[in-house]
């Protein structure tokens, strides 16, 4: 582990918490001192965001933006090199009938498939994200989690999507969760000093309460996560708009406090253009325009791309092409 990286993170955390040493007691006091989430108010706000309508020109822009924000994903035990090549090729040419269609931000795969995706994508500029740290359970020793991360980075991963130890978090062992994020962040550093970006998956469906989502968001940012992410896509509920509202408030408030932007990635269960646009409306109204960019907001999805392309074609042609004319290679979990 890089001593300087760990020292910098710990020093910032101590300064922010106003303590001389990081302990579970200090982290618990800080996290439980955050304002509570009004469940009724949060869900009412999310419901209101879903009712917003946008004009035709804005909708066309929003659809293109949403496509550019997708992490096109396959995370199945039956993934093969051929399937990953097919998904990466789909990312390169999302709609063969319209070369103006933007490409997704990244292709997200298991670590052992990073090299295959990287080779297929070449110099396209589309990133490769790898899930790591014993995804999706997170039930492994720290040594295994770090080896998992380092192997993916060495294979060429541009981004690492790690899972937190939800058991430790729910038991109040916040220091373990913090230390593991810091260690994985350090493992994202390459030999040349550059680093893969780290997305921290909180698995919000297992955190039970919005207060826990807020606390996990702040803990992940304190430890140096570049993104906070809702879900693995393997647990229901996965990404919901109310949970994403809480996370967007967290990154907004973190930026106001620290001056540092952190990205947000809802993943799992977002399948329609209407859903995606509701999330973009939430980004605009809660976090702000700076987050309306795939550097700072992503959708973890695959089937979403099909619906966005169908809607895009309808706006261009005036009629639906029909789902039979769109590639259907989306894994069921997404």
- Structural domain contains residue 110: yes
- Structural domain contains residue 334: no
The total domain count for the chain is: 1
- CA–CA gap between residue 194 and residue 8 (Å, rounded): 17
Q: What is the pTM of this model?
A: 0.93
Predicted pLDDT of residue 302:
81
320, 254 contact by CB (below 8 A): no
- Structural domain contains residue 216: yes
If you ran DSSP here, which 8-state letter would residue 300 be given? E
- CA–CA gap between residue 148 and residue 150 (Å, rounded): 6
- Structural domain contains residue 168: yes
Predicted pLDDT of residue 6:
66
Predicted pLDDT of residue 55:
83
CATH of the domain at 275: 3.20.20.70
182, 6 contact by CB (below 8 A): yes
Could you list the mean pLDDT of each consecutive 10-residue stretch along the chain, which spans 334 residues? 65 93 96 97 96 87 97 96 98 96 98 98 98 97 98 98 98 98 97 96 97 98 98 93 98 97 96 96 98 98 93 82 55 40
Predicted pLDDT of residue 322:
58
Predicted pLDDT of residue 260:
96
- Structural domain contains residue 331: no
Q: Which residues are catalytic?
A: 161, 229, 265
- Structural domain contains residue 176: yes
- Structural domain contains residue 333: no
Predicted pLDDT of residue 332:
38
Query: Prior bond to 42 cis, omega within 30?
Result: no
Predicted pLDDT of residue 333:
38
Helix (H, G, I), strand (E, B) or coil at 191: coil
* DSSP structure string for 68-85: HTEEEE---TT--HHHHH
Domain that holds residue 60: 3-325
Predicted pLDDT of residue 86:
97
Beta strand residue intervals within 151-273, DSSP E: 159-163, 197-201, 227-229, 263-265
- Structural domain contains residue 100: yes
């Amino acid at each position: 582990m890089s001593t300087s990286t760990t020292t910098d993170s710990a020093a910032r955390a101590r300064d922010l918490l106003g303590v001389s040493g990081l302990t579970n007691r200090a982290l618990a006091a800080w996290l439980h001192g955050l304002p509570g989430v009004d469940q009724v108010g949060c869900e009412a706000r999310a419901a209101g965001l879903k009712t917003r309508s946008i004009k035709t020109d804005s909708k066309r822009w929003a659809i293109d933006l949403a496509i550019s924000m997708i992490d096109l994903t396959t995370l199945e035990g039956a993934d093969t090199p051929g399937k990953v090549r097919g998904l990466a090729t789909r990312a390169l040419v999302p709609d063969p009938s319209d070369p103006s269609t933007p490409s997704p931000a990244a292709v997200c795969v298991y670590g052992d498939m990073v090299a295959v995706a990287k080779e297929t994508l070449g110099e396209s500029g589309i990133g490769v994200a790898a899930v790591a740290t014993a995804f999706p359970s997170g039930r492994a020793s720290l040594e295994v989690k770090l080896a998992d991360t380092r192997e993916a980075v060495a294979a060429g991963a541009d981004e690492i999507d790690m899972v937190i130890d939800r058991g430790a978090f729910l038991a109040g062992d916040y220091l373990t969760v913090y230390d593991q994020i810091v260690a994985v962040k350090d493992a994202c550093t390459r030999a040349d000093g550059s680093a893969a970006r780290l997305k921290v998956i909180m698995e919000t469906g297992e955190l039970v309460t919005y207060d826990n989502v807020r606390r996990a968001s702040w803990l992940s940012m304190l430890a140096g996560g570049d993104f906070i992410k809702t879900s693995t896509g393997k647990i229901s509920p996965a990404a919901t708009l109310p949970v994403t509202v809480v996370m967007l408030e967290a990154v907004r408030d973190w930026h106001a406090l620290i001056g540092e932007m952190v990205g947000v990635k809802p993943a799992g269960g977002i399948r329609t253009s209407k859903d995606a646009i509701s999330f973009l409306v939430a980004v605009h109204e809660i976090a702000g325009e700076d987050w309306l960019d795939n550097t700072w907001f992503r959708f973890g999805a695959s089937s979403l791309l099909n619906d966005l392309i169908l809607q895009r074609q309808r706006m261009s042609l005036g009629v639906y092409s029909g789902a039979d004319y769109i590639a259907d290679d989306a894994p069921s979990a997404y």
